[in-house]
Structure 1
């Protein structure tokens, strides 16, 4: 799963906030076509009828094997649309999107294309909300795409081909227009290659073995890149310190079968007091375990962050 240099992405441009739902195809910086869906803010909702609170759009990044049409993703979009406009999309290798999944590496380019599309539709404030794999992607995306061109204190990073060589942002066209203003990471890992739970050992088999990738393709409708990461992307815990001053919310269930509680605690500690941590009692993993009450509270946080 080798990284490639980031390039320009394309998306349709609309000068003002649209009030109608639409489905489109975005082109990422490395040329992958990504399906995306725009859901306007619900008329008469608490956020008003002007496209959401101050023109806010929430961009939802699903977990591994998800897509825009999965019920859990649609449920999240419906709840979030009561507070803001919502963009959902299918990561590469998922749903009707092209390419192959790199399980969190080049997916940063997919999220960047979706965020930039939200801005092209007229939204002034963007909040990214990611689940599981998408949770790791929103963290790395926020660290790599910023509102200003500033020096990168870390040096190099493979990230999704973002070509992070001595710059945190602005090294390539499109970085600043694809930045996020606030971040919510739900059920995300803190570190790569974790195999400490049975579900994660099974997931590694699906990703790394030829037979597993066949299961992924036909059983989970997810096309997986057979190549290893080269180089290894910036890990979520390494990305977190680079996100401030953007507000960050970390959400994790205490019954998560994939990642135990040391993962969210590690992420929160890496934020050095700049992140809010919610440990949800009885919650399992990612969007499938996020009920309407939790989604509503997340939506409320995005409006006030």
Structure 2
């Protein structure tokens, strides 16, 4: 069973990780190269003026795709959800020997207009927002046929999905990289992040926000469709509830974050009512975030809402 899938439809190559099987980076690279070679041998990837590539890739896989495909196509364009606009998928020309497709130019492709989930995950610092998002991302990716959860890092705290796996394998390196990547808030970043959220065009978009109900977060979260509130005290919960209410953001989940390893407490409700309860042990370096009951409940709610919108 291969760890990375490729499927060609007209002039678009759809790519993605095999969600049923985890694999190391070296295995992913070998499988991606093998899949490309097979499509070439079968006469599917025959070359042409333009190839669009759509789907998640690691950096290493992107290099493999470029190395194998560049000799066949005059231009290769890569999907970038951050520059999309409603109703369109937008591809950036990243490789070009074709003057009809200049390097860096955008190619817009119209799509069907189903509703999108743009979920701002908010809470004060040290509540575990980034860990919650990573767990939800992992849980959704583990469901066959579920939409890919696109994560928007709308906070310059130096964190990301890469940090969590690095924290598991090498905590000292992870902390060093996080500090190096951390930046200060400013109006320019807030405006850019708000534009990312506005342009996001995936079925499920998770927005990692800053830890304060600030003017910057107000600008960013105004572009969202829903919220998940993570809190430690009742006062924190009420402050974020009021902030989200002012922005017209209905909460999908209102969750207390506690230390420890106790079983999560999950209170499910109708789809139009938020999930409530307690999640325990949201900490960097936790290898099994996806298995937490609260994270599983939120992931399934997001998938269900996406299905009901189609």
Do the structures match in fold with TM over 0.5? no
Which TM-score band applies after superposition, normalised by the shorter structure? 0.3 to 0.5
User: TM-score, normalized by length of structure 2?
Assistant: 0.36
Indicate the structure with greater helix content. 2
Indicate the structure with greater strand content. 2
User: TM-score, normalized by length of structure 1?
Assistant: 0.37
Higher Rg of the two aligned structures: 2
